[in-house]
Structure 1
């Protein structure tokens, strides 16, 4: 699934990160979300902004090892790309504040005048558009254009995007999009500035749902089907000047974007250039050196392992390393559908048997990884993970043995599939479980095939590693995807990799989804997180940060907490535009 957390940096990265921080005496962070103190210099820019306030102008270059999966707002469901698209190219009804840390999770109106008005017990949501909104050609943005893009998200030829419209809107059964002229009755536009959504059930956090690219405008006259991916029509501060797939994307100012209508986007640079197809190590070296035009660059993908020793021990370079939390939880999935993990006592034993401290060490130590103590990440749990089981980070093998003996399952032998890059973490898990008498047979799978293997019920192993990131700060974007048994598919299973089917959990999911009060629902998700932990369908392992380097001429850069720590493109710019040589 495109929003699914791609597990981990490679094992080499984590080793290099540990090496890079080894010269410091205070690198250890308080272990296991337990609140212990300690300074973490490797994550010194967590929640902070690099470089002060940018100046207006210049060219900011993004160095990338890859092209975007999709820029079409109906198809964009990769978290960093949602940041790029919704901050630069198109606007949505509602968006998130451009602030580092917890403030970035706050909702603010974007195209809409407010966060929407619920009625009919939360089954109807009405939004009014601001006045003066225009596309790149100067034509007015209309409510009908947002309706049209929502409808496009159902088209079979426009796959890959968020499916919340299909989940929430009434009367969508069998709907195949607007390309054949059919439209949804559950999305109404009584005038050019009003859009009304009729939902099949109350959705307390529907305002947050409208931050997704699905709720950006696309005028029907600009429809190009799958070809729209190469040239989305801009409603944001920039428009596409040229796009050579897999090579280069150039964005220039949309002169019809009016900053008076936009409280979030600052649009500091005159131009954004994304250079693609570069090797990760090459990108890091260029930004570390920061010479000439490379001083005005940022990197798209994570810093490479071999670069860590060049960065962490050097204060002048390390201060240009962002390390915001990705907001995702990585788990050891236990296959609940068959023995031995169809036994709750055996699953509980695994919670105690795993040595999470060793897994964190195999992941580079506390520099960029910390122990997870529950499923919901901190952003969905009031800023701090719950810790209902109170298990020490290194585990309790004696307690695990006791539980296994009580279950009559001593001397277990289980299979464990991991992506090749996660072999080091898998071995740490293997060694931890061995303390409790559990023999683990590791099978490494090519990264390109990994999720197909663990998502196919005919090839699912006893254990696997995967993670999940929320689409926006609500438990509704996390627990139902990962632990609702109704989401399990014979092939292409995406979130519920533990194959957890529990009637009480599914019943409670439905009850929370029916709540009209968002505050009540948020607390209910946190309570359900604790309740599911007691049933142990999987073992929460760790939370990761996103390491991103920026050049010495970059200002206003921070990792946004909603978009898995990616740089917030709404506010990034240059200290001295003249130095960008753009």
Structure 2
């Protein structure tokens, strides 16, 4: 159903942390000065562009897009607490038919940056834009759920989407093809930001969007800068998820990662009011730890994306569950940690579940208890029971050339060989890797490395994209090519559950059910570290997601 941008997901495999420096000893943001209103916040970015078109965006609700555009709902996330959905432009939504129809009511007095009222028709128009082929690329959880969505091609030729009704200026109603309990989370994704009705047909709308959030785009130069200034029509009293502290926010684009780290470590001039949008790498961490001041300005996530080894369940001998189970014991997860960050403590905790930390319903369990370094003898025994007493040979281990993936693969290759599993590592550039792992209807590889963090705080977004049979090929992220009719049924049942606690219990059961089949080997829950200047305040990372909440960051006086 959803089509996650593979480049983003695989990038998560390289995330790191600094727990050895005590960054996780206190709540994130501890030790920082209090944020005050005013000043210019700078965000240093490796990217050449920053996208402010909600139809094309995969931005999390707490990052860059949320500074300019509000959505129907938002996220309230704090360290030590599970993220929860809260009202933003509208209330948190109501359903009276078990989750198939959802109704939202907009707040009074909402305005765009041009002073015109924000209406339900503007929200509908924004959602409809996301269906137009010219504006594809954003998160698409809604596209197959809304009635008429499967065949809809956008509003620019006069067609309306049947599944969205706007009976008055404040009411918007969504009719779905099936019950879906996480719809209040879905309407926090970028496509549910309002776009003035009739506008946004031009391909460069990202460079001059009409804002609904606390900031508007005042200047944009690709590869150089995106400057945000205050939106005079944003009302703090209507917005519980955005603090709106800085007067201006400037994205400095096209910055080299090592230069960003050096600048923030030096902490001079304007860089005192900046933070880096990219993860601090292992090499950069090694340098930062030698600088006492910079070391204290590292902010690290408690947990993060699930890094895992995917086993192609469509190819023999990996179509045999007993063979796949052997991999659970063969893998040395400690060696993967070291290959990821040079230190087991820096990389992230060893993973045994599919659902990541900070998600409602997550249960801790370990179906395949083994030492962190693996149990090669147990793996050999399982292979023998499966009919392979001499082990396995010539397995194709495909990895991307990015994010240190070849080195991580080599660490796993060595541990697999100790269990009698011989692999050949094959590397591909990003586009070619994506084509074979995600787009192709038939996959040639046997094994591949990947990583995943949900797009919204629900176990649904942990499990459905990776293990529903609908996500095989065609841009989906079911890299293990796992097909199980019962699991598909259980996923549909959990998705249709409106009560979050009940849904959480169902997702936890699916977590165990899928792992019994061993389509993947969970490796670690990767951590992210970010570096800030000394005047940046309230830069924290909650339990989910493993990114700073841009909407709460400010400067100290």
- TM value normalised by structure 2: 0.93
Q: Report the Cα distance in structure 1 between the residues aligned to 2:263 and 2:484, rounded to whole angstroms.
A: 51
Choose the corresponding residue for 2:264, options 287, 294, 299.
287
User: Is the contact between residue 46 and residue 325 of structure 1 (CA under 8 Å) also seen in structure 2?
Assistant: no
**1:459 positional shift:** 5.0
Aligned position for 1:55: 36
Q: Is the 8 A contact 1:43 1:367 kept in 2?
A: no
What are the within-5 Å matches in structure 2 for residues 32-71 of structure 1? 41=22, 43-44=24-25, 47-49=28-30, 51-68=32-49, 70-71=51-52
* Distance change in 2, residues 1:158/1:300 (3 Å): same
Is structure 2 residue 423 aligned with structure 1 residue 444? no
> 1:371 corresponds to which residue?
350
CA contact under 8 A between 2:436 and 2:443: conserved in structure 1? yes
Compute the displacement of 1:554 (Å).
0.7
Matching residue within 316, 319, 340 for 2:317: 340
Assess, with a 3 A threshold, how the Cα gap between structure 1 residues 55 and 78 changes in structure 2: closer, same or farther. Answer: closer
**What is the SS of the residue equivalent to 1:508?**
helix
Structure 1 vs Structure 2 CA RMSD: 2.1
**Residue in 2 that maps onto 1:35:** none
Stretch moving more, 314-323 or 288-297: 314-323
- Residue 87 of structure 1 and its aligned partner are, at CA, apart by 2.9
The CA deviation at 1:126 is: 0.8
Distance 1:354 1:246 in 2: 42
Is 1:251 the counterpart of 2:228 in the alignment? yes
Q: Which residue of structure 2 lines up, in the alignment, with residue 549 of structure 1?
A: 531
Deviations 1:173-227 (A, max 9, x none): 3110101111112211111111111111111121111111111111124323322
Aligned to 2:489: 507
| 1:432 alignment partner, one of 415, 431, 438 | 415
Task: Tell me if structure 1 keeps the 8 A contact 2:50–2:226.
Answer: no
Q: 1:516 aligns with which of 495, 498, 504?
A: 498
CA distance in 2, matches of 1:241, 1:248: 10
Superposition deviation, residue 427 in structure 1: 1.3
Distance (Å, rounded) in 1 between the aligned partners of 2:376 and 2:347: 26
5 Å-filtered alignment, 1:416-427, equals: 416-420=397-401, 421-427=404-410
Counterpart position of 1:580? none
Structure 2: distance between partners of 1:482 and 1:544: 17
Over 3 Å counting, the alpha-carbon distance change for 1:264 and 1:487 in structure 2 is: closer
- Judge which range, 234-243 or 307-316, deviates more: 307-316
Summarize the Cα distance change of 1:310–1:173 in structure 2 as closer, same or farther, 3 Å threshold: closer
Q: Give 1:546 shift.
A: 1.3
Q: Matches of 1:246 and 1:385 in 2, distance apart?
A: 44
2:73 aligned residue: 94
Residue 360 of structure 2 contacts residue 501 of structure 2 at CA under 8 Å; is this kept in 1?
Answer: no
| Aligned equivalent of 1:6 | 10
Structure 1: how far apart are the matches of 2:158 and 2:86?
A: 33
Structure 1 SS opposite 2:229 = strand
**Offset at residue 430 of structure 1 (A):** 0.8
Q: Where do residues 208-247 of structure 1 align in structure 2 (5 Å cutoff)?
A: 208-247=185-224
- Deviation track 1:122-165 (CA, whole Å, cap 9, x = no partner) reads 11111111111111111111011111111111111101012122
Q: Select 2:448's aligned residue among 435, 440, 464.
A: 464
Deviations 1:220-263 (A, max 9, x none): 24323322121221000000111112211000000111111112
Change in Cα spacing, 1:514 to 1:374, as seen in structure 2 (3 Å) is: same
Residues 304 and 525 of structure 2 are in contact (CA less than 8 Å); yes or no, is this contact kept in structure 1?
yes
Please say which of residues 194-203 and 300-309 is displaced more in the overlay.
300-309
Could you tell which deviates more after superposition, 164-173 or 307-316? Answer: 307-316
Query: What SS is found at the alignment partner of 2:547?
Result: coil
Aligned to 1:532: 514
Counterpart CA distance in 2 for 1:72 and 1:288 is 33
1:50, distance to aligned residue in structure 2 (A): 5.3
How far the C-alpha of 1:101 sits from its partner, in A, is: 4.0
Query: Separation in 1 of the partners of 2:434 and 2:30?
Result: 35
- Show the counterpart of 1:404: 383
Change in Cα spacing, 1:567 to 1:515, as seen in structure 2 (3 Å) is closer
Q: In the alignment, what sits opposite 1:33?
A: none
Q: TM-score by structure 1 length?
A: 0.89
- For the Cα contact (< 8 Å) 2:265–2:291, is it kept in 1? no
Deviation at 1:493, TM superposition (A): 3.9
Aligned length: 546
TM-superposed CA distance for 1:315, in Å, is 3.7
How big is the shift at 1:404?
A: 0.3
Which consecutive unaligned segments of at least 5 residues does structure 2 have? none
Distance in structure 2 (CA, Å) of the matches to 1:225 and 1:425: 43
Would the aligned equivalents of 2:362 and 2:508 in 1 still touch at CA under 8 Å? no
Where structure 1 has 5 or more consecutive residues not aligned to the other structure, the ranges are 28-39, 577-582
Return the alpha-carbon distance in structure 2 between the equivalents of residues 475 and 423 of structure 1.
Answer: 30
Structure 1 contact 50–554 (Cα < 8 Å) conserved: no
Question: Is residue 2:551 matched to residue 1:570?
Answer: yes
The structure-2 alpha-carbon separation of the partners of 1:344 and 1:540, relative to structure 1 and needing over 3 Å to count, comes to same
1:7–1:465 CA contact under 8 A, matched in 2: no
For 1:205, the equivalent position in structure 2 comes to: 182
Matched position secondary structure for 1:57: coil
